[in-house]
Amino acid sequence: MATNASLLPTIPRIFFLYLEPVAITYGMMMNYASRLDIFALSSTTSETLPIPALVVPSLTASYLFSMMLYGLIILLASPPNKRLVQLHIWILIIADFTHWAGLFSTIAQNDPRGWAAVLDTSGWSLEVWNLATYPLGTLAVKFATLAGLFGEICG
């Protein structure tokens, strides 16, 4: 039986079925394994209620896991529908922008300069750089897929 994944050109199909789910899984595991200072700080900032340090990684992991499963179900268990594939990609684009919103608000909450600290990248760790730049690549693939640069989405 054909699925939505069969509508995608080869490069986006590989990206959405394999590369992005692996990257999402890596992100979920790294939230716990690396215990990034940025998450620990966000749990103790004076501007918000103190929360346990594992709440943010836990919520992040559950969100990422849900998004990953949602995407795989849309691509692998739904009958072919070009419009559904396009809408799915748009939802993933929105998720990339919300990724930045969460990251940048966490940086702003943890620095006395507030939102100005987001623009001062000199103090960013390698992990923060990774969190900030990863969506550039995923957005490029998603917009290129919608624009037909890898080939048209069939259907």
Query: How many alpha carbons fall within 13 Å on the CB side of residue 81?
Result: 11
44 is written with which tokens?
Answer: 């103790």
Instruction: For residue range 114-148, list pLDDT tens digits in order.
Output: 888 889 998 888 888 888 898 999 999 999 999 99
- Residue 33 CA: distances (Å) to CA of 16, 22, 67: 25, 16, 21
Contact 89, 146 (CB under 8 A): yes
Does 36 score more than 80 pLDDT? no
Confidence label for 30 from pLDDT (cuts 50, 70 and 90): confident
Q: Which residue has the tokens 């899984």?
A: 25
* Farthest-apart Cα atoms in the chain, separation: 56
Instruction: For residue range 57-108, list pLDDT tens digits in order.
Output: 677 778 888 888 999 999 999 999 999 999 999 999 998 998 888 888 888 8
Provide the whole-model pTM: 0.81
For the chain, give me the number of helices (H) and strands (E)? Answer: 7, 0
